[in-house]
Amino acid sequence: MPHDDPHDHSHAAVEADEPQGYYQHLAAATRSLLIEKGVFSAADMRAMIEQIDRRSPALGAKIVARAWTDEGFKARLLSRGKQAIKEEMEIDPVAADIVVVENTAAVHNVVVCTLCSCYPVFILGRPPDWYKSYAYRSRAVRDPRGVLREFGTEIDPAREVRVHDSTADMRYLVLPMQPAGTEGWLEERLAGIVTRDTMVGTAEVRPAE
Amino acid sequence: MTDPLFNPGDAVTVSARFPTGRRHIRTPFYIRGKTGEVERVCGAYKNPEDLAFGNYNAARVSLYRVRFDQRHVWDDYTGNPNDTIDIEIYEHWLEPAVTEDSSDAT
């Protein structure tokens, strides 16, 4: 029982104060300069960071759950994603144009940005580290089925795997398939089983145990 | 708005150009020279090759989503022959596809 352990050895504290590299210095200097010149204040900066951090996959999950329960919304989401999200979900898409791609029995979609790390932050929050790694970015285009397998996602060989390389001005949301056995669930309950990875396409939605 | 040169369904080839120097090009190397089909016209966006260097009055360029067969993109692709990859490509990186009906009719 961990609680009864005589915890008498010391640990180094977990610190986020790693030595700063060139780009950290550049960012800090630029930030100081902009604040000094009155372009924005330190409070504006903090508020912006908080706004970014408030975005999470829960927003995307609500969109998916709405699409599963409302055919009309789903059709609008697939044809004019940005407007549907803005007008019907009241989520501010900021500047991004969104392309929603639907998983079906015939097609499985997966998203990658090989050039950098383009990601629909406004509906999924900040991307996971693996999404930004060279390994994912290079391998997801070249061997998508192998990469998906490493995520525990085995795509039937008969289904088409369609990779989306998010190279420019579009941002992508995968509309996963609604799992069997969840018919008739309320929107809120459905949103609870939609995870971040299912909206990037590295996983499929499973009904909650 | 500039009128798009290509329409959905058009066969297009990505320019096999490799400019060097201080650039910001959104056309991945692996797709240059490959041929695919226009999936949709996304609209017209300011050219990132200018935007990246602070030219915010950059001209707008039509942007397309182009679909490629994975087997065509990668010589050693082993997945389903129907597997595809969609990539956003700006118009100035696309050319009408050259049909090779005479030389390569296998």
Does residue A107 fall inside a structural domain?
Answer: yes
- For residue B9, what are the contacts with CB-CB under 8 A and spacing of at least 6? B37, B38
Q: Are residues A182 and A196 in the same domain?
A: yes
A151 and A70 in one domain? Answer: yes
**Mean pLDDT calculated for residue range A176-186:** 95
Residue A207 confidence class, pLDDT cut points 50, 70, 90: confident
Reported ipTM: 0.92
A127 in any annotated domain:
yes
> Is residue B53 in a domain?
yes
- DSSP code of residue B31: G
Q: Are A93 and A171 part of one and the same domain?
A: yes
Q: Based on the domain organization, do A86 and A126 belong to the same domain?
A: yes
Predicted local confidence at residue A101, as pLDDT: 98
Q: Rounded mean pLDDT of A114-143? A: 95
**Coil/strand/helix, residue B54:** coil
Asked whether residue A149 is domain-assigned, the answer is: yes
Question: How many angstroms separate the Cα of A63 from the Cα of each of A101, A102, A123, B62?
Answer: 13, 13, 9, 29
Work out the percent of chain A whose per-residue pLDDT is above 70: 93
Chain A partners within 8 Å of B65 (Cβ): 99, 170
**A171 part of contact set with chain B, CB < 8 Å:** no
Give residue A181's region: left, alpha or beta (phi > 0; psi -120 to 50): left
The predicted structure's pLDDT at residue A3 = 53
Q: For residues B80-105, give the mean pLDDT.
A: 84
Among A115, A144, A158, beta carbon nearest to B28: A115
**Rounded distance, CA A165 to CA A12, Å?**
42
What does the alpha-carbon distance between residue B81 and residue A203 come to, in Å, rounded to a whole number? 22
Beta-bridged to residue B40, according to DSSP, are B65
Report the residue of chain A nearest B72, measured CA to CA: A142
On whether residue A81 sits in a domain, the answer given is: yes
Q: Is A116 a catalytic residue?
A: yes
Q: Are B74 and B16 in contact (CB under 8 A)?
A: no
CB contact under 8 A, A162 and B86: yes
pLDDT number for residue B26: 95
Mark whether A117 is an active-site residue: yes
**pLDDT of B105 strictly over 60:** no
CA–CA dist B93, A33 (Å, integer): 38
- The answer to whether position A2 is within a domain reads no
Nearest CA in chain A to B81: A160
Containing domain of residue A35, as a range?
8-54
Whether A38 and A81 map to the same domain: the answer is no
Angle formed by the axes of helices A57-69 and A71-79, nearest 10°: 120
* CB < 8 Å from A in window 61-100 of B: 63, 65, 70, 73-74, 77, 79-80, 82-90
When pLDDT is cut at 50, 70 and 90, the band that residue A60 belongs to is very high
A164 and A74 in one domain? Answer: yes
